[in-house]
Structure 1
């Protein structure tokens, strides 16, 4: 992600050692901006590079799925194609990946080519039926 789009100031207000789940909302270009297939194809190339980066930092892909329709709330501007939940052991791990040279040079170009819009929202757990504490 272009570092200028990364909300480093906002992320630095979070506890750097706290676990975080990133909610990713994506809208794809019909065609990849580099002309190599569809926006989805470019996103698959991005994922092939980033999933190992996530795992190397102790993170995991929790869930992905197609966004089908806005069920409640404003429809305008909320026509997403794909959703992903990615867990990181810490905010620091996420920042380390997103600001790495490998991410910037190897992964991000595919994301930019594939995504017309990509929003990532940092979340913290409020409730989980799986909580063990």
Structure 2
């Protein structure tokens, strides 16, 4: 069986997230691997993702999202040496679940560009640990 790749949102997980009672700001960890070439755009995956980010920026502003970090992993300090690193990592903070949901459901949100750009990805909702 071949390696499985993930590019699109899992609708069941999205529904659970959307209906959660989580009231704190939402932090999303994005781990992404780009396609070499994107047939739909004629550009590389990285170039297509850059265009996605350009087109998504007004949606981020509308959702009051804050890009906390956007960069590339460089060294695997803990983990298997033969495990390939993700191409880029993006951490985005939203004020609420509804801000995130409204953004991705907003008419014109360029989710198709994101999907076209990537060969594999992870989108993980992270929450701070409770302080004692």
TM-score range, shorter chain: 0.7 to 0.9
Describe the shift of the 1:92–1:79 C-alpha distance in structure 2 as closer, same or farther (beyond 3 A). same
Give me the whole-angstrom Cα distance separating, in 1, the residues matched to 2:85 and 2:29.
15
**Alpha-carbon contact 2:27-2:93 (below 8 Å) kept:** yes
Stretches of structure 1 lacking an aligned partner (at least 5 in a row): 129-133
SS at 2:108 equivalent: helix
Give the corresponding residue for 1:60: 66
1:118 aligns with 2:124: no
Give the corresponding residue for 1:131: none
Give me the whole-angstrom Cα distance separating, in 2, the residues matched to 1:111 and 1:88.
19
SS at 2:113 equivalent: helix
- TM-score scaled by length of structure 2: 0.79
**Alpha-carbon contact 1:58-1:88 (below 8 Å) kept:** yes
Give the corresponding residue for 2:34: 28
How many residue pairs align between the two structures?
A: 125
